[in-house]
């Protein structure tokens, strides 16, 4: 489906939903120093042709303005005339959409995701086992273990994007960038938000467990 065939009503709904999520995450201090970026797909998914709304680069994400988002194509290029620049990390969103067909991708920098990504960074993944909230990823097996991939934080975003296919796990809807932040996704914004919140909870639990393990009884 071409971009022009997607109804204005649908595009407006997507922008409104993204703006509400952006405000909520900002209230949690999940966008310190203009960091982070959010996107939501519009229209049907076809790996050959898809479109999404993404946050404009470098904006204060705690504000709500008419210049917060723009629409881009599967290459991350703006599809309407605009002075806005898509997020510097749009190519990572493109890869996640292309590989998963998901409906929304959220990226935030938090203290816990940074600390955990560095602690396990050399291993290439964060192992998480036996914590109830793993069920938020629709994994119901007892004592389940997931491994959240950690990619190096290259300054060159295309170099990070090209590593995504090699680490993406269909059962784990998230990828960490070392000392940077997390990308989490889902079939729609509701699911992407649930996944992101679960990852952040799990990272905080792991961080605190690591401290407790170092404590003496
Ligand atoms: C000031 S944070 C550095 C860039 C970054 O990691 C980020 O998430 C925000 O970049 P954007 O271009 O999306 O504003
Ligand atoms: Zn970032």
Residue 25's pLDDT is what? Answer: 98
Range of the domain at 39: 3-213
CATH number at residue 180: 3.40.225.10
In whole angstroms, how far apart are CA 144 and each of 116, 129, 139? 19, 6, 7
Residue 185's pLDDT is what? Answer: 99
Residue 215's pLDDT is what? Answer: 80
**Closest ligand to 59 CA?**
1
CA of residue 34 to ligand 1 center, whole Å: 6
Residue 115's pLDDT is what? Answer: 98
In whole angstroms, how far apart are CA 47 and each of 94, 112, 165, 173? 10, 33, 14, 18
How many other CB atoms are found less than 10 A from the CB of residue 52? 28
Residue 1's pLDDT is what? Answer: 80
| Ligand 1 pocket, residues with Cβ under 6 angstroms | 33-37, 55, 57-58, 87-89, 107
Residue 216's pLDDT is what? Answer: 76
**Closest ligand to 177 CA?**
2
Name the strand (E) or helix (H) holding 182. Answer: strand 181-186
Per-residue pLDDT of the chain (217 residues; tens, 9 = 90+): 899 999 999 999 999 999 999 999 999 999 999 999 999 999 999 999 999 999 999 999 999 999 999 999 999 999 999 999 999 999 999 999 999 999 999 999 999 999 999 999 999 999 999 999 999 999 999 999 999 999 999 999 999 999 999 999 999 999 999 999 999 999 999 999 999 999 999 999 999 999 999 887 7
User: Ligand 1, atom 3: nearest CA belongs to which residue?
Assistant: 35
CA of residue 137 to ligand 2 center, whole Å: 23
User: What is the total residue count of the chain?
Assistant: 217
Counting the structural domains of the chain, the total is 1
Helix (H, G, I), strand (E, B) or coil at 136: helix
User: Ligand 1, atom 5: nearest CA belongs to which residue?
Assistant: 35
Residue 106's pLDDT is what? Answer: 99
């Amino acid at each position: 489906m071409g971009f022009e065939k997607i109804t204005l009503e649908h595009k407006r709904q997507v922008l409104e939903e993204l703006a509400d999520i952006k405000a909520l995450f900002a209230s949690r201090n999940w966008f310190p120093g203009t960091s982070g970026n959010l996107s939501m797909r519009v229209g049907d998914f076809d790996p050959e042709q898809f479109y999404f709304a993404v946050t404009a680069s470098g904006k204060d994400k705690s504000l709500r303005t008419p210049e917060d988002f723009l629409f881009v194509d599967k290459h991350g290029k703006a599809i309407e005339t605009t002075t806005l620049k898509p997020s510097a990390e749009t190519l990572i969103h493109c890869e996640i959409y292309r590989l998963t067909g998901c409906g929304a991708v959220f990226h935030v920098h938090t203290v816990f995701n940074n600390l955990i990504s560095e602690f396990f960074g050399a291993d290439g993944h964060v192992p998480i086992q036996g914590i109830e909230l793993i069920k938020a990823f629709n994994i119901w097996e007892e004592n389940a273990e997931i491994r959240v991939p950690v990619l190096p934080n290259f300054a060159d975003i295309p170099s990070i994007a090209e590593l995504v296919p090699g680490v993406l796990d269909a059962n784990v809807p998230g990828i960490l960038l070392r000392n940077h932040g997390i990308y989490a996704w889902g079939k729609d914004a509701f699911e992407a938000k649930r996944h992101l919140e679960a990852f952040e909870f799990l990272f905080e639990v792991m961080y605190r467990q690591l401290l407790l393990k170092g404590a003496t009884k």
